[in-house]
Structure 1
Amino acid sequence: MNSKPITRFQLDARHKAAADMLPLSREHALQSAGPAFHALADTMPQMVWSTLSDGSHDYYNARWYEFTGVTVGSTDGDGWAGMFHPEDQPDAWEKWSHSLSTGEPYEVEYRLRHRSGEYRWMIGRALPVLDENGAIQRWIGTCTDIEDQKQASLQNEILSQELSHRIKNIFAIVSSLISLTARANKGFQNAAKDLQGRISALGRAHEFVRPHSEKSRPQIGDVTLSSLLATIFGSYPAYSEGRIKIGGPDITIDSKAATPVALIFHELATNAMKYGALSVPDGRITLDLSANEETVRIAWAERNSPTVLDAEPTSGFGSRLIDLAIRQQLGGHYERTWTADGMELVMEVKRDRLEQAA
């Protein structure tokens, strides 16, 4: 089929005619598309709503009314707030007010009243519709039911806490068995004391990083290397006396890294109490922490030790334990030296071994 080519004049005329048919503004476009938008929103599984620029609600889709059971129009304006659980209203209002004043996306979790009278967890999100000058003309938002995910998360938390509680009981049982064995076998008493100390250090590390409820959670803030070390040394009198000092930045630590860290510094502190700086009243220990993107450096320095060794003593079980923890579990290396008044141990370990589960 033959056709004549379109001239530039004809193309410009068509563009002009099409432009003349376009709405004068995005607001006009949104109003013109209202029925189509409502039809589309009613097919969505989520609850969809819109507001004017001041946050006054003027539209909800069919899912909203199906879920809430309220009459059409009864939650327009600010009537929606009464549908939230009373405990969640302040937070929702605060975040909504912030978004209205700044134009930032809105996101909040809250409990919404179902038509049955029960409350279900939702996540609410909204984005602004802007005109060509960047001014907010209205907001389009959604409510997504996350009750099932919340319940699953709660169940997992309960199971984690129960498992953690049982692990804690196992630590106590193992310690009791060691104590009973030592009473029956006096030759085992010295070794039993060391073994119980290691079990105790592991127990403190586990208590520090285990899953907690809001009531049982220690008031320690984030799980960091500094706070973990403080927990490990908390049972040593020298720490409360100020003879063990920890300095450096907060470095995040993962729960799996807590075990080797606890064993390393329990061994160092125990040896210091037996032979080193903590065996005398004026002995001091400093730990300096530093880090870059790839490694974490920890410098342990003992001062005013009673005995200064000229060379490293024969490696015992504690030394092998430290070596295993640093080299294999934390992917690092270390150097131990003896100075004029004590021992120094400087280790460098992989940062991702501390911060991420292996």
Structure 2
Amino acid sequence: MPIHTGYRSAPDSKIFRLLESEKRVLGQVAAGVPIAKVLEELVLAVEAEANGELLGSILLLDKQGRHLLHGAAPNLPAAYNEAIHGVEIGEAVGSCGTAAHRGEAIFVTDIATDPLWGAVAELPLAHGLRACWSIPIRGADGRLLGTFGNYYREPRSPTADDLEVIAHVTHTAALVIERHLSDQALRESEQRFRALVELSPQVVWFCGADGQMTYCNPFWHAFSGLTLEETRDGGWANVIHPDHRDGIVRRWQHALGSFTAFEVEIPFRRSGDGEYRWFVVRASPVHDANGEVVQWIGIALDIHERKQAEEARELLTRELSHRIKNVFTVVGGLATLTARRYPAAMPFAREFQQRIGALASAHEHASPQGLAGSDRHTFQDLVAKLLTPYAGHLHDRFEISGDDALVGGNAATALALIIHEQATNAMKYGALSTDIGRIRIQGSRSEGSYRIIWSESGGPTVPGPPQRLGFGSVMAMRSSTEQLGGGIEHEWAPEGLVIRLTVPLANLVR
């Protein structure tokens, strides 16, 4: 049987009509016409240009990338379309299966004799199909989207004009399929997001740039008992505990006006039993391409149990702290009472009680109530607290300067002993033993360490290092090395003692 080499050369008018069909089908895509209808329109257009000789077929690659699914083939026999729907791609699986497998165009001029059809040739031959060319349809990124099949009822090989038409059709089909996949992915994403929001056991809400509520998920309506209309126009604030309502509304208005993220803990009233439950509410503005805020997205997470646990823990901590302070007081009092029976022990008792007092100050500093209204426990705060006993007529004798640093409970205890010891020695022998003496305490950060310099001036001339260190000085040195993991140096300069204490920042916050 002779093999046809194609129809006559395509005039420019054919290409023009194909371009018009492309414009038409792309318009259908933009209008939301289903992909099956759009692809059918494309196939019919190219078939019309072939004067009925061509039977077109577009197959789509499935999500797993293993099978080809029916897309459009309006003039192929329905039984044939049904039979090849879901065909697995692979070598020698007809023209389309092989083209998808190899990623290249396959031109079978005679199905009856070509080995790529082999045992499956009976199917197309039974429907009067003799030639099949299949060309992969690829997206802009090169990924395989499907195949464009060209069937003929006679053996046939492609001409240059055929290849030009094929290139045009596969390009248009790729645009259609990519738009469909993009829209499909968007719809699926929206469906997943909506399901997530609808099923969320927490509050999810949206509002416009002006703060007007546009959506609240079912959890909010069930919890608050408010409809969307009742939530709008600030109605959501009606279920906030009265003690917190005004302040929270002001903070929300500030966030709206400044376009800044909003986060606050709110006690909302539950509609079922009237109980107020704590939520942490967070909201962020959403901007358009021009940077303008177009809406707000917010969530509210139930933290009531956590809040109750925090309050219980804080109450317990305060109680323990109070009892520990009482222990310090009792121990100091016992030392004083005992020393009264032994007058020679009174100096020791006084020093011991002073050290106990320093430990009590350090404990108070590190406890939750130690710095009421503050969220920090710092070195400078600790020093100021420890030097309070000297404040009366000596308050102008101290200068606390330099970098500050956070101080943890363990470090505060060690630092309290060191600072108390130096202040006591300064009262006895150093700068504080004269009317004009001064002490400068300076902190500085450097390469993972915190350095503290205690400098005395205006006191008696320092003759040099002592022949032996007292108990307090020994204890201070041990505190610096064993508890703080740092080092301490003494410079016995004639004009005044200088002490340099270096502590790793990691140890300082413990």
TM-score range, shorter chain: 0.7 to 0.9
- What CA distance in whole angstroms lies between the structure 2 residues aligned with 1:13 and 1:45? 46
Report deviation, 1:48. 1.8
Deviations 1:4-24 (A, max 9, x none): 232554443234324666999
Query: Match for 1:271: what amino acid?
Result: N
Match of 1:5 in 2: 135
Partner of residue 111, structure 1: 267
Q: Aligned partners of 2:375, 2:303: CA distance in 1, in Å?
A: 28
Q: CA deviation at 1:76?
A: 2.9
| Equivalent pair of 1:275/1:307 in contact (CA under 8 Å) | no
In structure 2, stretches of 5+ residues that fail to align are 1-92, 97-133, 138-166
Counterpart residue identity of residue 198, structure 1: R
Identity rate, percent: 37
Matched, 1:81 2:240: no
Aligned to 1:182: 339
Would the alpha carbon gap of residues 21 and 51 (structure 1) be closer, same or farther in structure 2, given more than 3 Å must change? Answer: farther
> Could you say which residue in structure 2 is the equivalent of 1:158?
315
Note the 1:23-172 alignment, pairs <5 A: 38-71=194-227, 73-115=229-271, 116-172=273-329
Pairing 1:249-288 to 2, within 5 Å after superposition: 249-288=403-442
Is the partner of 1:140 in helix, strand or coil?
A: strand
Structure 1 runs not aligned, ≥5 long = none
Counterpart position of 2:364: 207
Moved more, 217-226 or 148-157: 217-226
Q: Distance in 1 between matches of 2:175 and 2:192?
A: 26
The code of the aligned residue for 2:267 comes to: R
Q: In the alignment, what sits opposite 1:328?
A: 482
Q: Which moved further from structure 2: 161-170 or 6-15?
A: 6-15
Residue 269 of structure 2 aligns to which amino acid in structure 1?
A: R
Q: State the alpha-carbon separation in 2 of the partners of residues 349 and 201 from structure 1.
A: 20
C-alpha displacement of 1:33: 8.6
- In 1, are the aligned partners of 2:449 and 2:505 still within 8 Å (CA)? yes
Q: Distance in 2 between matches of 1:220 and 1:48?
A: 33
Deviation readout 1:254-282 (Å, 9 max, x if unpaired): 22211111100111111121222222223
d(CA) in 2 for partners of 1:84, 1:297: 48
Match of 2:242, SS state, is: coil
Change in Cα spacing, 1:78 to 1:248, as seen in structure 2 (3 Å) is same
**1:218-233 to 2 correspondence within 5 Å?**
218=372, 222-233=376-387
Comparing 234-243 with 222-231, which one deviates more in the overlay?
234-243
User: Does the aligned pair in 2 maintain the 1:285–1:302 contact within 8 Å?
Assistant: yes
1:234 aligns with 2:388: yes
* Higher CA-based Rg: 2
Spell out, residue by residue over 1:291-331, the C-alpha distance to the aligned partner (whole angstroms, 9 max, x if none). Answer: 22422222222223335323333122112111101122222
Q: What is the CA–CA distance in structure 2 between the aligned matches of 1:137 and 1:47, rounded to whole Å?
A: 21
Residue 347 of structure 1 is matched in structure 2 by 501
CA RMSD of aligned residues (A): 2.9
Per-residue deviation, 1:133? 4.2
